[in-house]
Amino acid sequence: MTTDGVGRGPASNRGASVSPRPGTRGAVADGVRRIVALGRAEALLLRRNAVALLVALTTPAATMFMITSSSESGAVEGFDAAASAVTGLAAIALLAAVYYNLVTALVARREELVLKRLRAGEASDSEIVIGTALPAVAVAWAQIVLGSVAAYALFGTAAPVNVLPALAAVVLGTAVFVLLAALSTVVTRSVEMAQVTTMPVLIVPLALCGLFFPLDDLPGPLEQVARMLPLTPVVDLMRLGLTGTTTDGRTVELAGSFGEAAGPVLVLVAWVALGGWAARRWFQWEPRR
Amino acid sequence: MDETRVDQAVVDEAGVITVDNLWRRYGGSGAGGFDAVRGAGFSVRRGELFALLGTNGAGKTSTLEVLEGLASPTRGRVRVLGHDPRRARRLVRPRIGIMLQGGGFPSGLTVAETLRTWAGTLSSPRPVTEALDLVGLRGRAGVYLRQLSGGELRRLDLAAAILGRPEVLFLDEPTTGLDPESRRATWRLVRGLLESGTTVLLTTHYLEEAETLADRLAIMHRGRIVRSGTPAEVAASQPSRISFALPADLREPVPDLPGTLAGAARPAANGGTVLATSDLQQTLSALLEWANRRGVRLHHLNARSASLEEAFLAVAEEADRSGGGVSSDGVSDDTVSGDAAMGVAA
């Protein structure tokens, strides 16, 4: 240890000045810089965690393979293999790569006191969560993009009707599942426990999202509940954007697709608002003593 | 809430850190709750090192967390650089450095990766290599944190705390777990920071550390500040002691001497005598004068002012006597037995 250079800090001459308040643009740039710094470290940790990496990378790919190779799917008239594969991929990527991955990452960081430590720094609460989520989100989005390119190249079906609802599905869906991950950590005491505590969010929305059977088959009240679950509007928006299929089974063109998107978008926005409020209220930054 | 402009002169006048009747309660207002801090108050001037001492559970870390903006006070007011550290977190944080009691870096990153990440979150960081040099970890830059020793992790914590060139530095037990050499190296580093104008608030279990580094200090006990001042002033709150042994054949007792405290002359375990005095010079002069006049030889004569350690122990003892039921920790146990060896145990 040396003391050389200690005195070179600006502490000595900064005493008389009031630290400048960054402008709005500077503040945003600073926020992005902090998020990227945290995200880069998190990406290193993800790369070094073989199990987490395997789950994040292989689950969506396996899903795509299962959906497209299912013999029954091919028999359905008007089946759009590419659209089905991409829709399924998006749903699974949000669940496995974003949600599950982030629950384990946040719990691990909380138990290692990393979150507490970060809160003692300059990064804001939301920057810490976004930075931690960054690699998980990047992996999920990359899979969706690559998967879409591959699916449309392979199956060569009709081009998407309107990509905007599909983009909204991915972006809003990501926000919802990041917030749900933050909330799931509240009941998750350890990384091992995450295997159990993530089950409700992994199974219920997936089972009732319309990916495996049409929601019309459900009794009325249950169908209403299913439409309010966080993954259903994602699937609805993907289908609407990719094939122009509405929730009640009609087919619309580009012009008609915007109005049809309003309902599912509203459900997702409500989830973001509710999730954001709840996470702010209940999220734990330190292990419980 | 626009607190951007706080007059620097006002801050320097009142103190870079001010704590006013601070209360902090855990576990709600019911019977299950616990007041960890109960009306603490002190202020830290620019450029000084202020040490917060106390037994385990005295409320030091609870106080620090409020000052760092990590927790809200239940009652009372704290200001750091003129701001509320929690509400004006975005203004205060870029100007302070925080060394928590431990942990908080992912074990799967290397030393350099950890500091690079931390630097990425700071407004005006030092170069990472400079920080590594300062804490003597340059040679360990590529090592994973899970492979570091406790002392090395502690030094990494310190490197992160000073990485942003803070004006105000909070150090929570910075040398716990360090070997004596590293501890002294940390002291040198802290002194260098003080010379460059940094203000430091430090908690420690090591009284020697406070005695060496602190301009002023406060002793906390059960959520309250029970002594404060310079290390010398706090030590002086305890009586000085004179110990000696009289010749075995001496028939007469030592007379009452000026300055000695009531019931102060006590036979020590080894047959010697210990006098406690509030005025060491006066009492010692009188003792020597008496001995000279009588031609008495005082064996093993020893006179000394009270140490910070004695002041610290007196605080714990007082509380125990007043029915405190304070759980004694390592620090007080050690030094109480040390006292007994000197022959003043009651």
Give pLDDT tens digits for B105-125.
Answer: 999 999 999 999 999 999 999
Banded pLDDT at B186 (limits 50, 70, 90): very high
Q: Do B121 and A122 touch (CB under 8 A)?
A: yes
Q: B189–A6: do the CB atoms touch at under 8 Å?
A: yes
Of the partner residues A45, A112, A123, the one whose CB lies closest to the CB of residue B121: A123
For an interface test with B, which of A1, A106, A286 has the most B Cβ atoms less than 10 Å from its Cβ?
A1
Taking the Cβ of residue B93 and every Cβ of chain A, the question of whether any pair is shorter than 8 Å is answered with yes
Mean pLDDT of the B169-198 span: 93
Q: What is the pLDDT of residue B340?
A: 32
In this prediction, residue A262 carries a pLDDT of 92
- Higher-pLDDT residue of B41 and A289 is B41
Distance of alpha carbon B152 from alpha carbon B154, whole angstroms? 5
Q: Which residues pair with B67 in a beta bridge?
A: none
pLDDT of residue A17: 41
Same domain, B227 and B243: no
Chain A hits for B162, CB-CB cut-off 8 Å, are 9
pTM for the full predicted model: 0.81
Question: Each residue of A138-157: pLDDT tens digit?
Answer: 999 999 999 898 888 887 67
* DSSP, residue by residue, B113-158: HHHHHHHHT-SSPPPHHHHHHHTT-GGGTTSBGGGS-HHHHHHHHH
Token representation of residue B244: 């000696």
Q: What is the pLDDT of residue B6?
A: 65
Nearest to B121 among A6, A109, A121 (CB): A121
Q: Which of residues 95 through 134 in chain A touch B, CB cutoff 8 A?
A: 108-109, 112-114, 116-124
Coil, helix or strand at residue A267:
helix
Element (H, E) at B35: strand B34-44
Q: How many distinct structural domains can be found in chain B?
A: 2
- Record: contact A12-B117, CB cut-off 8 A: no
Determine if residue A78 is left, alpha or beta; phi over 0 gives left, psi from -120 to 50 gives alpha, anything else beta: left
CB contact under 8 A, A1 and B135: yes
User: Does the pLDDT value for residue A4 go beyond 90?
Assistant: no
pLDDT in tens, B63-78: 999 999 999 999 999 9
Asked whether the predicted pLDDT for residue B4 surpasses 90, the reply is: no
Q: Are residues B65 and B120 in the same domain?
A: yes
The rounded distance, in Å, linking the Cα atoms of A174 and A197 is 19
Of A6, A38, A118, the CB nearest to B196: A6
- The amino acid occupying position B343 is G
Q: Which of A4-18, B20-34, B256-270 has the highest mean pLDDT?
A: B20-34
Q: Can you give the pLDDT at residue B268?
A: 59
Same domain, B141 and B46: yes
Closest to A202 measured CA to CA, from A54, A97, A124: A97
Question: Across the interface, do B197 and A123 touch by the CB < 8 Å criterion?
Answer: no
Residue B164 pLDDT: 94
C-beta atoms of A118 and B185 within 8 A: no
Residue A10: the pLDDT is: 43
pLDDT beyond 90 at B83: yes
Q: Which residue has the tokens 């002594």?
A: B227
**CATH number of the domain within which B49 lies:** 3.40.50.300
Q: Which among A7, A18, A45 is the nearest to B196, CB-wise?
A: A7
- Record: contact A1-B124, CB cut-off 8 A: no
Selected residue with higher pLDDT from B329 and A115: A115
B217 and B158, same domain (yes or no) = yes
> pLDDT grade, residue A248 (50/70/90)?
confident
Whether B93 and B163 map to the same domain: the answer is yes
Helix H, strand E, coil C: the string for B224-241 is EEEEEECHHHHHCCCCEE
Minimal-distance CA residue of chain A relative to B159 = A1
pLDDT over 90 (residue A177)? yes
**What is the number of other CB atoms lying within 10 angstroms of the CB of residue A76?**
10
- To the nearest whole Å, the CA of A272 is away from the closest chain B CA by 25
How far off is chain A from B42, nearest CA to CA, in Å? 21
pLDDT per residue as tens digits for the range B115-171: 999 999 999 999 999 999 999 999 999 999 999 998 899 999 999 999 999 999 999
A11 pLDDT more than 60: no
| Distance from C-alpha of B157 to C-alpha of B189, rounded to nearest angstrom | 14
- Pairwise CA distance, residues A34 & B122, whole Å: 8
Does A183 have pLDDT greater than 90?
A: yes
Tokens representing residue A55 in the block? 């789950």
pLDDT, mean over chain B: 85
pLDDT of residue A9: 45
Amino acid at A234: V
Q: Is residue B316 part of a domain?
A: no
pLDDT at A195: 92
The reported pLDDT for the residue numbered B345 is 32
- pLDDT above 60: residue A31: yes
Q: Are residues B230 and B243 in the same domain?
A: no
Query: How close does chain B come to A275, measured CA to CA in Å?
Result: 23
Per residue in A190-224, pLDDT tens? 999 999 999 999 999 988 888 888 888 888 888 88
Average pLDDT estimate for A106-130 = 94
* Domain assignment of residue B274, given as a range: 239-305
Considering the domain architecture, whether residues B248 and B228 belong to the same structural domain is answered as: no
B70–A120 C-beta distance less than 8 A: yes
Given CB atoms, is A51 within the 8 Å cutoff of chain B?
no
Residues of B in contact with A116 (CB under 8 A): 70, 100, 104
- Give the distance, in angstroms, between the CA of residue B102 and the centroid of all CA atoms in the same chain: 17
**pLDDT averaged over every residue in chain A:** 85
Q: Among A19-23, A122-126, A162-166, B34-38, whose mean pLDDT is lowest?
A: A19-23
Q: How confident is the model at residue B325 (pLDDT cuts 50, 70, 90)?
A: very low
**Pair (B260, B154) in one structural domain:** no
Predicted complex: ipTM over 0.85: no
For residue B209, tell me if it sits in a domain. yes
Same domain, residue pair B288 and B329: no
Q: Is the pLDDT of residue A172 over 90?
A: yes
B3 in a domain, yes or no?
no
How many whole angstroms separate alpha carbon B210 and alpha carbon B67? 20
Q: Tell me the nearest-neighbour CA distance from B319 into chain A, angstroms.
A: 27
Closest CA to B193 of B220, B164, B235, B232: B164
One domain for residues B203 and B332: yes
- Does B294 lie in the same domain as B179? no
Per residue in A77-98, pLDDT (tens digit) is 456 788 888 999 999 999 988 9
Q: Which of residues 167-226 of B touch A (CB under 8 A)?
A: 167, 182, 185-186, 188-189, 191-193, 195-198
B23 lies in the same domain as B137 = yes
Give pLDDT, residue A289.
64
Using the predicted structure, report yes or no on whether residue A61 has a pLDDT greater than 90: no
Average pLDDT (B22-37) is 86
pLDDT at A118: 94
Give the distance from residue A61's alpha carbon to the nearest chain B alpha carbon, in angstroms: 27
The number of beta carbons lying within 10 Å of the beta carbon of residue B68 is 27
| CA separation for the pair A91, A100 (Å, rounded) | 13
Residue B305 dihedral angles phi and psi, to the nearest 5°: -75, 160
- CA–CA gap between residue A144 and residue A50 (Å, rounded): 21
Inform me whether the C-beta atom of residue B13 falls under 8 Å from chain A C-beta atoms. Answer: no
Within-domain flag for B314: no
pLDDT value at A19 more than 50: no
Look at residue B216 and tell me if it is in a domain.
Answer: yes
- Residue B315 falls within a domain, yes or no? no
Task: Please answer whether residues A211 and A235 qualify as being in contact, where contact means their C-beta atoms are separated by less than 8 angstroms.
Answer: yes
Residue type, B262: A
Q: Are B99 and B174 in contact (CB under 8 A)?
A: yes
